Each structure stands twice: as C-alpha cells, then as structure tokens.
Amino acid sequence: MITKMNKLTLLVYHKEYIDFLQRLRQVGVVHIVERKSVVAENPEVEKQMALIARYKRTIKRLERCAVENLQPAKGVDGAMAAMEKCDTLLAEIEQRRGVLQTLDKDAAALAPWGEFDVTTIEKLESAGYDIRFFISPAKNFCQEWVDEYNAIVVAEQASRLYFVTVTPKHVVVDIDAEVAKLPDASLSALESEKERVEQQIEAFNAELDKLAVAELNTLRAANDALMHDLEFMKVALDGEKVSGDKLVLLEGWAPEENLVELKAMLDESGAFYDVRPVRRGDEAPVKLKNNAFTRMYEMLTKMYGMPSGTDFDPTPILAPFFSLFFAFCMGDAGYGLILILMGFILKKKLKSDLAGMMNLVITLGIFTTLIGAVLGTFFGMSLLSDFDLPEKIRQFIIAGDIELFGSTYDKQMILALGIGVVHISIAMTVKAINNTVFYGFKESLNAWGWWLVVVGGAVLGTLTFLSAIPAEVSKWAFIGIGSVGALGIYIFNNLRRNVFANIGAGIWDTYNMASGLLGDVLSYIRLFALGLAGGMLGQTFNSLALMLVDGKEGLGAVIGWVGFGLIIIFGHTLNIAMSCLSAFVHPLRLTFVEYFKNAGYEGKGVEYKPFKDK
C-alpha cells in the first residue's frame, strides 16, 4: 500500500535558515521538493559532485585490491592525500603498461627472426656489408635472390618467409618484398626489459594493496561525508528567497504518520508552516508500506517504477504471483531445497544490507519446493514413477495428460494457461477499480465494460465447462454480459465524445484487445516450457551419471561412482543456475508486460526520499 502524504510549505527567516535545516534533517521525515535548475547552475555543487565522482572512482579501484583486515577510518583529513597517492600509483602503473605494450609489439616483431646480436650486424656494416631484413609470401620468393643477393631464409610462418640479404654496400638490392622494420634491441634484451617493467608494476600494485588496507575506510567515510554535505547544500539551494530576501520559502512532503513529531519541531522553531493533504494533480513522492512478505518484493516494483498519484501499489499482487511464476519455471522440489539452504548460508556470510535479500531467496525456495512437489519433480526424477509414494500424496501431483474438447493436452500446460487467465483477470479488475477510485465511475465505464466481457466471460465459461450451471442459463448469461459490456465499450467509453466517435474508438479497442489478449495468455506457456526444459535437463544429467555405474564392478565401479558424483554435482549446479536466471527474468517479463499493461500501471511516480541525517 501507499503511505498517505501531506504537502508542507515552510517560511523561514533567512538568518535562521541553515540552523532550521539542521533541525529539519534531524527529524528526517520531509521529502524536499527540488528546484533542479537552481541546483544544476551552482558551481559549488558541480565542484562537490566532481570531487565525489573522483572519490568513487578511487574507492572502486581500491576495492579491487587484495584487501583484508581493513584499518578503521582515520578521519577525513587524510583522505585527499590518500586519493592523490592512489592517482600517482595508478598513473605509474598505466605508464608502465604502455611501455609493456611497446615491448610486446617489438618482441612480436623480432620473434620470427630469433635471437641475434645487434652488435654483430653493426660490425658487418662497418666492414662494408649491408644486412637487410625482408618478409614475403612463400609463393613470391625467387630463387634468384639467393644467388644474386645472398638471401637466407630465417623462418617461415603462416605461408610467409622471413629472410635476410647480405650484400656489399655498393650493390643495389631490388627485391619485391616487404622491408621489415626491427627494433634496435635484441629479443633477449626486450624480454629482460619486459620482466623489469612487470616487476615494477607488481611493486606498484603491492603499494596499492597497502594503501587500500590503510585508507579504504577513510576514503569511504570521506565520500559519505561529502555526499551528506552535498545533500544539505542542494536542500539549502532549493529554498526560494521571498519578501526582499528576508524569508526563504521551502516546499516538501511528509507522511501523515510522522506529522505529530514534525509539527512539534516546527512549532518549537518558530517557522511558519502550512500542511495540507494531497490534491488531484499533485506529484507527491511515494512511500510504500507493506507487510514483511510483500516488502521483500518492493525492489521489483522499483525496478519498473514507483506508482504515481493515480496508481495502486502493485506489490501486494506482484509478490504472490512472482513467487508462483518463479516456482513454476524452476519446477523442481529438490532445487527449491537447495535455494532454501543457500539462502540460510549466505544470510550469515553476507553484509547486513545484502543479507536481507536472502529472505527473498529463502521464500522463493519454499515456493519452488511446494510447487515442484505438486508438479512431481525432485532433482530431475519423477515423484510418480521413481518414488513409491502413498496414493493420498500422489493424488495432489499434477502430471500427465488431460482430454479436453476431444484432444489431449498436458495438464501442466493447461495449468500455466489457467494461471495466465487468472493473472490477467486480476489485472483488469485492478484497472477498473483503480479508474473508479481516482476518476469516478462515469469515467470508468469502458474499463468496466471490458472487465465484464473478459473476466465475466471467463468465469461464466469455466462454470459452464464444469457443468456448474445449465447450458441454457449460460447462453442467456453470455448474451446479458455481452450486451451490458458492449454499452461501456462502444457507447459510454467517453461521455465527452459523440456516440459515433465512441463506436469507432470501441471498434479499435476491440481489435487491440482481441489480438493482444490472445498473445498475453499464450505468453504464460513459458511457465510450462521452462519448467519442462529444466526437468528434462536434470533427467538427462541423471541418465548420463547412471550410465557410468550401471553394470560396473571393481575398480571400474569406483571410477564410475566418482564420475557419477561429478556429473550429478556439475550438471545439477549448472541446471539450477540456468533455471534461476530464467525463473527470474521471465516472471518479471510476465509482470512488467502482461500484468502491468492490462492493469493500466505506468510506474511514473517519484520515490519518497526524506531529508535526514545519515
């Protein structure tokens, strides 16, 4: 659900403004309305942001070092010196990496020629001979060059010949080949220089490691302090001077649940303030308030976008359906147990801010275990055929085929499509209710018309199929639902337009709805397909592993069981990883596309971020 907000308008005497902001930050419940143009044009803010960006780059680089037992922060005074030292070390490393690239290039050029003494060539040149180096395709090499210019082939690589000519200085060498440009140093000298430069880089990296241990927490503390000050600076600039710069006007939002303590501080400060509820058209920030289960899924809502002033919080419906979709895509009770175990282990090892996410992993593991058991799969094995379960338990497993309308279908596929119909029906119900609450019933007749036709038709069709109502009653019920729904779709979809415009708009909506709904429902087959693929892959790994131990004896059996264990561990680990990825992405797609589209959810709201002391 969404916490109710109140608009706050403040007038503060300009000399008391900074002290007032300090007290306001201590209360920490007011979301300040930003004046972005004023903040963006302030040079001090730009300078502060540039410094923060520099701190973040340095911190990110030092976090890549091999750091253990970090020393506590020593105060922000030494942070700048630490950052300067880090920049110097990185510059030294970068400069030597450039040298290494040059040395590698020179060594690659010399490699085909092998090791030779440069001084020997210089002696030959002093004696009146020229030594020239050439590269030529093997097919273009002429034997005459050997006789005429003393050409000597040194190496052949990739159908290219590397050769030299030795001629007196007065001889003009006319050879149609590429002249090789070689460095002045020998190959061994280049390798020695490379080793020396690499040692220097290692030494600088060791210095970086020491710097990270000593100063990383100091840099983090300095960065946090800068961000804290920057936030205060931005809020200070958000105030608008009025009454000849004597007063400062500041606007913000506060949750209704925090008004008592906020008003107490404002009354004590002596500032003038006005508090009013949200009105239509206000762009109030959104603060989500949900129970412990739903709160774990708020991050998924935030990934898409916060609800606006004319939206419901989608998280309470997103949470159970996303869990169901995830479990359906995983489709294996054994994999669910692994997720639960992994969640509990990582919860103890990770930092507190990440450990909370493990509650979501554990929850998804529980759903996967339950749904996987219903779907009848345990580590790629069938609970129906591979386990001797009591009949009372086997009757709850949904597996095998079912006959419908004279054809045979997989039960799990029908279940996936049924879940899709329910999910879309709930989305259309939410849209109709949401439009009624925020715009009124008259403005929602189109949504209710489609709801009656689609949701009412689906419910009525299901009851008829189950023989819960007679066919004759069902026929007249369909006629009644269609007639009433058509009035909202074609006649009263917009009361401010004439009837012919409404009919035209209704026909267009009918085309979009007919083509869109079918595709939306069919999208839910992915739940069945992904679960089936994961189960078949797990079954394949089991079969491969059993092949190694089937009929083996003695040493062969020992080797076979070792291979069995490796295949089982590697195979199922790989399958779990791939299944988790698919089970996260595809349910998210079904939520963000199929559900949000049919629910009319846009997610254009602004998240509530109070101005508070961190």
**Of residues 342, 341, 349, 304, the one with CA closest to residue 322:** 304
Q: Which amino acid is at 191?
A: E
1-35+251-287 CATH, one of 1.10.600, 1.10.3470, 3.40.50, 3.30.70: 3.30.70
Q: Under DSSP, is residue 235 helix (H, G, I), strand (E, B) or coil?
A: helix
Q: Is 103:196 a contact under the CB 8 Å cutoff? A: no
pLDDT of residue 435: 82
pLDDT of residue 18: 86
How is residue 387 written in tokens? 């386990």
Spatial separation of the C-alpha atoms in residues 491 and 495, rounded to whole Å? 8
How is residue 338 written in tokens? 């692994």
Residue 332 has pLDDT above 80, yes or no: yes
How is residue 167 written in tokens? 């001629």
Confidence of residue 558 (pLDDT cuts 50, 70, 90): confident
pLDDT of residue 40: 67
Q: Under DSSP, is residue 151 helix (H, G, I), strand (E, B) or coil?
A: coil
Question: Across all residues in the chain, what is the average pLDDT?
Answer: 85
Spatial separation of the C-alpha atoms in residues 565 and 321, rounded to whole Å? 36
pLDDT of residue 38: 65
Q: What is the CA radius of gyration of the chain?
A: 37
pLDDT of residue 353: 66
Strands (E), 139-192: 152-157, 160-168, 178-179
Q: What is the model's pTM?
A: 0.74
Mean pLDDT of 88-106: 91
**Of residues 334, 411, 330, the one with CA closest to residue 584:** 330
Q: How far is CA 177 from the centre of its chain?
A: 54
Percentage of the chain exceeding pLDDT 90: 16
Domain boundaries, the chain: 1-35+251-287, 116-185, 292-399+526-598, 412-522
Mean pLDDT of 591-597: 90
pLDDT of residue 352: 67
Angle in degrees, 0-180, between the axes of helices 315-330 and 357-375, rounded to the nearest 10? 50
Q: Is 207:215 a contact under the CB 8 Å cutoff? A: no
pLDDT greater at residue 287 or residue 489: 287
- Backbone phi and psi for residue 550, each to the nearest 5 degrees, phi listed first: -70, 115
pLDDT of residue 492: 75
- Backbone phi and psi for residue 6, each to the nearest 5 degrees, phi listed first: -130, 140
Mean pLDDT of 158-169: 89
Sequence-ordered alpha helix ranges (H) in 331-403: 333-349, 352-355, 357-375, 391-394
Q: Is 308:284 a contact under the CB 8 Å cutoff? A: no
Spatial separation of the C-alpha atoms in residues 372 and 379, rounded to whole Å? 10
Residue 127 has pLDDT above 90, yes or no: no
**Of residues 137, 185, 196, the one with CA closest to residue 163:** 137
pLDDT digits (tens, 9 = 90+) for 257-285: 888 888 888 888 888 888 888 887 778 88
- Name beta bridge partners: 240: 249
pLDDT digits (tens, 9 = 90+) for 14-65: 888 888 888 888 888 889 888 776 666 778 888 888 888 988 998 888 888 8
Collect all residues with Cβ–Cβ distance below 8 Å to 498 and sequence separation of at least 6. none
Q: Which amino acid is at 51?
A: L
